[in-house]
Structures are given as structure tokens and as C-alpha cells.
Amino acid sequence: MFIGHYGPAFAAPAARRIPLWHLFIAVQLVDYGWAILSILGVEKMRIEPGFTAMSPYDLYHMPWTHSLAASLVWAGAAAALYALVLRRGWPRGLVIGAAVLSHWFLDLLVHTPDLALWPGGPKVGLGWWDSWPLGLGSELIVLAAGFALYMTVSTAKSALGRVTPFILLGVLALLEASHLFVSMPDQTVTQGAVSILIVFTVLTALAAWCDATRRYKSV
């Protein structure tokens, strides 16, 4: 899953207490780790056009970021960092941890069976990426539901704040469309991982822009 991962970032129950850009990092934290470990050769993937209907990535070895056990560790570490090191408190830390963990369960829907339960353990995945209606539909439904909730709990500080969320949503839609419908140049694994890191960083910057132009409503 790609843009669907941002649905929980928009929808996090305590979002009115957590900057949106923090949640944008949280929901993709394991993919940040996966991209870095792929560049280093610790985790492995192959880029094979047509591998599934919606993704060319054969993610055949990623036990340290995308196994369920590893995801629990990443989520726990992120929660503790947010709560204790950044001193945001455990209620917010637990929301950050849940956002991190949401990545695995959303990937479970769309991935082929490449998500290990633990490093070296059995692999699972429902494979919705092999079906356009299921793959794309799940992405759009999760994102739209989260975005709708975000718009109900936040309000614009100015006229600009009325449009910044829709600019962010439009960029997400364009990135999904370019991924699915535009022929991309051949890439090495390293180039693919670097491009993913750049995209995540740009999206996080846009989320920070939303934070600067909107505020959460009083509880």
C-alpha cells in the first residue's frame, strides 16, 4: 500500500494533539527503514515490471522492517521515543506507535505473501495488488476516510488553510496515478529506494505546511 498508509495519519484519534507531519513520518517509518536497509543491501527486493497488477516490486527479503515481530518493535520504540525522549506523554506516544503498526496491517491486505510473522517465520499477504478493484479501491477508501476525519477535527487559520489539505491530497493522488499509469524509467534497487525516501520527505513537508495553516478544534 502507498497512499492508503496516510489514511491512519489523517485519522489518528488523537490527531488534534499531534502534528500531522509527525503522523506522516510514523505511518511510513518502517518504509524509511526498509529503503535505507535496501540501499545497504541488508534487505532485498527486485524490480520486475508486471510482478503484480499494481506494483513492480518483488519484496522477497525484508524481515527487519516488515515482519510482524519487527513492526511491533518499531512501533514500541517509536512510542517510547515520542513519549519519553520527546516528552509528549504516553497517550500521544501510543497513538504514534499505533500509526507505525498500522503500516503492517494495511500492507497485509495488498502484498503478496512476503510479510513474515517473524524473521525467518512464515509469510503472509492477501495479494490485493493483483486486483485493480481491490488494490486501488482499498487505497482510496482508507485515504478518503482518514482525510474526511481530519477535515472534521481541524479548521483553517486563514484562507490558505482551506486549500492546503486539498493540495496535499492532490499531490498524493498524482503520485498514485504516476506510479500506476505512467511508464517509469528503468531503475536500480538503490535508485528506487532513494526516490521513495525523497517522495516521503516531500509529503512530510507538505503535511507540515498543513500544520502551519490549520489548527485542531478544541475538544
- pLDDT tens per residue across span 51-102: 898 888 899 999 999 999 999 999 999 999 999 999 999 999 999 999 999 9
Are the C-beta atoms of 210 and 165 separated by less than 8 Å? Answer: yes
> Is the pLDDT score of 14 beyond 80?
no
| Closest residue by Cα to residue 14 from 97, 72, 74 | 97
- pLDDT tens per residue across span 126-180: 999 999 899 999 999 999 999 999 999 999 999 999 999 999 999 999 998 887 7
C-alpha to C-alpha distance for 219 and 217, rounded to whole angstroms: 6
Q: What is the pLDDT of residue 61?
A: 96
In terms of residues, how long is the chain? 219
pTM listed for this prediction: 0.94
Q: What is the pLDDT of residue 13?
A: 74
Return the ∠ at Cα 61 (arms to 58 and 56), rounded to 5°: 10
